[in-house]
Structure 1
């Protein structure tokens, strides 16, 4: 299975990276092919809902010439998309939110004069996240949003793994978290 990780943390060694790293280590053990795109390293302009992307149902078709078409093409080559993000104000970081807005139009050709297909129909999607609030109070809105997004886009939502950060003075990564990350990878890849 080809996995594309959309990494939406601004910190290359932060908490979200630490849990993603254990997930990717397990994916490697399971001999899964993975690719990670760091969204903070990409130019991702915000969607303006111009619907130019709806004119041709076979291409991305966005008016912007930034890095999103490259990401679009990587998604089309993938079987599984992992959204890896810390939670900021009850949702993903800004680059991931901007990308999701662009993809909902560019991938789903539902909004033009003629209703078209979902170009990523039946691809799998999952979330790996970190949250400063207790998970049940900080992550739930983002997960619900992604569940609805997946249903709308005809994606297969596989679930989420989210870890709580207890604060700047605490040690984030521990053996229990590492165990959960590895178990999540095995669940996702069903091995």
Structure 2
């Protein structure tokens, strides 16, 4: 089993990455392979509404000058998907929104390819707006017919400077619990023994 995480933050080693890596700890302890892909700060344009993915049904976005098609393939191969974003003006980063819009359209246009995969949102925030970011991510999972695991709280951690989120004990405990719940759920779906 595998979980792929997409980090919408342009900061390498920033708070979003710290949160995702904490979710990875129990996943890896359960024998689940993990991969982190940083999309933030890299070219990823928004959907142009050309409808080619819907017309062609070839599993690809017609825009070929960025990595979106590679990202969609990673999603197809994974059993679980984490979308992590810092809070930018009460929403996801532009790169994360482009990923959601384009990957969503491509996978839905090709038979709801993400259906029944496990999806979890992870949000870094300085003060406010994280709930809206969390909703944006979960809307993608829901329309894709994915399964969203719960945790002890909404999946957000508080911090400003890179790494400061690790001082948010409740947020970090929540990420640990989220990873444990994801691992249990993925194994249950696969029919593997659970604890």
3-state SS, counterpart of residue 13 of structure 1: coil
3-state SS, counterpart of residue 155 of structure 2: strand
What CA distance in whole angstroms lies between the structure 2 residues aligned with 1:99 and 1:131? 20
Q: Please say which structure displays the higher CA radius of gyration.
A: 1
Q: Which residue of 2 aligns with 1:150?
A: 141
Q: Does residue 98 in structure 1 map to residue 91 in structure 2? A: no
Q: Does residue 162 in structure 1 map to residue 162 in structure 2? A: no
Q: Which residue of 2 aligns with 1:69?
A: 69
Q: Which residue of 2 aligns with 1:173?
A: 166
More helix by percentage: 2
Q: Which residue of 1 aligns with 2:81?
A: 81
Q: Does residue 3 in structure 1 map to residue 34 in structure 2? A: no
1:141 Cα offset (Å): 1.8
Structure 1, unaligned runs of 5 or more: 110-115
1:123-142 matched pairs, under 5 angstroms: 123-134=117-128, 138-142=129-133
What CA distance in whole angstroms lies between the structure 2 residues aligned with 1:149 and 1:171? 28
1:53 Cα offset (Å): 0.7
Q: Which residue of 1 aligns with 2:12?
A: 12
3-state SS, counterpart of residue 63 of structure 2: coil
What CA distance in whole angstroms lies between the structure 2 residues aligned with 1:143 and 1:179? 17
Answer whether contact 1:52 1:63 (CA < 8 A) is retained: no
1:63 Cα offset (Å): 3.5
Answer whether contact 1:5 1:37 (CA < 8 A) is retained: yes
Structure 1 length-normalised TM = 0.83
Corresponding pairs, count: 180
Q: Which residue of 1 aligns with 2:115?
A: 121
CA gap 1:148/1:16 in 2 versus in 1, 3 angstroms: closer
CA gap 1:5/1:123 in 2 versus in 1, 3 angstroms: same
